[in-house]
Structure 1
Amino acid sequence: MIPATMKRTTLSAVLLLAAAGPAYAHVGDGTVSSFTAGFTHPLSGLDHMTVMIAVGLWAALKGDKAIWAWPLAFVGIMLAGGALGILHVPMAFVEPAILASVVVLGLLVALAVDLPVSAGVAVIGLFALFHGYAHGTEVPENAGGLGYMAGFAAATALLHAVGITAGFNLGWRFRGLARVAGATCATIGAGLAFGVL
């Protein structure tokens, strides 16, 4: 019998994914300037939602220090990338790196890759930099980006928490379901990369 908490968490994650529209969280798309816009932005793109949840799932599968270190690394480095984007510091391969993050992080969950915490921070941080940069470039010149970035950070942390909660609720008994979720993430990334989704 599947516990009620796990059912609610899984249903919430599925509803979030189902409600997501196309990925608009990329360089040059849209206008953002407030905490609310920043908070809702990660929820509007399938790529971002899946990556954030995958980070949480992977952290839960790893356990121990990864539970807080990996999500914290993503949010912190994402904010640094956002600052680079706001300052218009040139950065190459932003879109390909974002799409690669969906596939790679999904595969890390699907294969339950057991990296040292520091190596996981490096992998997650690299992708977080590109995600943050993409959103930082979208803040209008005449608007302060701090409110938007605070909203984006809060939503990102919330999505990480959804992944961690799902991973904990699935536990060792249902570890295979967490890995299936990772495979789904990787498939979504491939679909986005090839224009199928």
Structure 2
Amino acid sequence: MSTQGLLIVLSGPSGAGKGTVCKALLKECPQIQYSISATTREPRVGEVHGKNYFFTKVEDFEEKIASKNFLEWAKVYDNYYGTPRDFVIENLKNGRDVILEIDVNGAKQVMENFPEGTFIFLLPPSLEELSNRIYKRGTDSKDVIKKRLASAEGEIEEMKNYNYAVLNDKVENAVEKIKAIIVAEKCKVNKIDVVKEGFKNDLPID
């Protein structure tokens, strides 16, 4: 069987519950490595380098952009954020599955830079429920919420570019479906490392 891990990319619109589902999945499957992002922002109280983020100087981050050392990156409010390619590849080569929880724009970049990943689109039960979830957060103004909802409609159209779609009606249901997807992916013929000649040699010959 394959000794290399899977890169699982969990994406979807803001408010779909990516973070909640990802945490629940990792609680049930602690063997999965959560992808740690690099950032140029200053550490907050209690944050640890290499655990919460890889805290990086701007010039170092920009050098890595130039040398294509990120699977995806973005600049948000004057700070860079990105997924280090080396960290992901090292874990995959060591046989560990890696999950990347990311927005739709970031997932597009990963599709281009690592198309062999497993891309899962997390759907809210409805746009109405998505609106309710964002309002309940209480972290955004009404104008920002309207923009997020308008953006969500366009993001849902990107679902056709993913390998799988999972409806997040209940967190536990979504987690079970993602676990089933991981099992199915590992059973794909192109993911199985069999030394064909050696396998054939073990077969009985009449």
TM bucket, shorter chain: under 0.3
Greater strand content: 2
Which has more radius of gyration?
Answer: 2
TM-score (norm 2): 0.25
Greater helix content: 1
